[in-house]
Amino acid sequence: MTEHFQVHGGARLAGAVDVVGAKNSVLKLMAAALLAEGTTTLTNCPEILDVPLMGEVLRSLGCEVTIEADTVTITTPADLNHHADSASMGKLRASVCVLGPLVGRCRRAVVALPGGDAIGSRPLDMHQNGLRQLGAHSEIEHGCVVAEAEGLHGAQIWLDFPSVGATENILMAAVLADGTTVIDNAAREPEIVDLCTMLLQMGGKIEGAGTSTLTVHGVDALQPTEHRVIGDRIVGATWAFAAAMTRGDVTVRGVDPHHLDLVLEKLRTAGADVTILEGNAFRVVQRDRPTAVDFVTLPYPGFATDLQPFAIALTSIADGTSMITENLFEARFRFIEEMIRIGADARTDGHHAVVRGVARLSSAPVWASDIRAGVGLVLAGLCADGVTEVWDVFHIDRGYPGLVENLVNLGADVRRVAAAPERS
Ligand code: UD1
CA 162 / ligand 1 centre spacing (Å): 9
CA 121 / ligand 1 centre spacing (Å): 9
> Is the minimum distance from the CB of 94 to ligand 1 under 6 angstroms?
yes
Q: What is the pLDDT of residue 343?
A: 97
Our mutation pick for probing the ligand 1 site, out of 28, 138, 161, 262, counting the most ligand atoms within 8 A of Cβ, is 161
Q: What is the pLDDT of residue 120?
A: 57
> Is the minimum distance from the CB of 53 to ligand 1 under 6 angstroms?
no
CA 193 / ligand 1 centre spacing (Å): 16
Query: Looking at the annotation, which residues are catalytic?
Result: 117
Element (H, E) at 343: none
The per-residue pLDDT for range 267-281, each reduced to its tens digit, is: 999 999 999 999 999
Q: What is the pLDDT of residue 51?
A: 94
> Is the minimum distance from the CB of 366 to ligand 1 under 6 angstroms?
no
Which pTM was predicted?
Answer: 0.95
> Is the minimum distance from the CB of 164 to ligand 1 under 6 angstroms?
yes
- The DSSP-derived string for 21-83 is B-HHHHHHHHHHGGGSSEEEEEES----THHHHHHHHHHHTT-EEEEETTEEEEEE-SS---E
The per-residue pLDDT for range 197-219, each reduced to its tens digit, is: 999 999 999 999 999 999 999 99
Sequence-separated (6 or more) residues with CB below 8 Å from residue 353: 312, 323, 324, 325, 326, 333, 336, 346, 347
Sequence-separated (6 or more) residues with CB below 8 Å from residue 258: none
Q: What is the pLDDT of residue 424?
A: 43
> Is the minimum distance from the CB of 168 to ligand 1 under 6 angstroms?
no
Q: What is the pLDDT of residue 2?
A: 76
- 3-state class of 312 per DSSP? helix
Q: Among the atoms of ligand 1, which is closest to the Cα of residue 304?
A: 14
Q: What is the pLDDT of residue 185?
A: 98
Q: Among the atoms of ligand 1, which is closest to the Cα of residue 327?
A: 30
Flag residues of the chain having pLDDT under 70. Answer: 1, 90-91, 115-121, 420-424
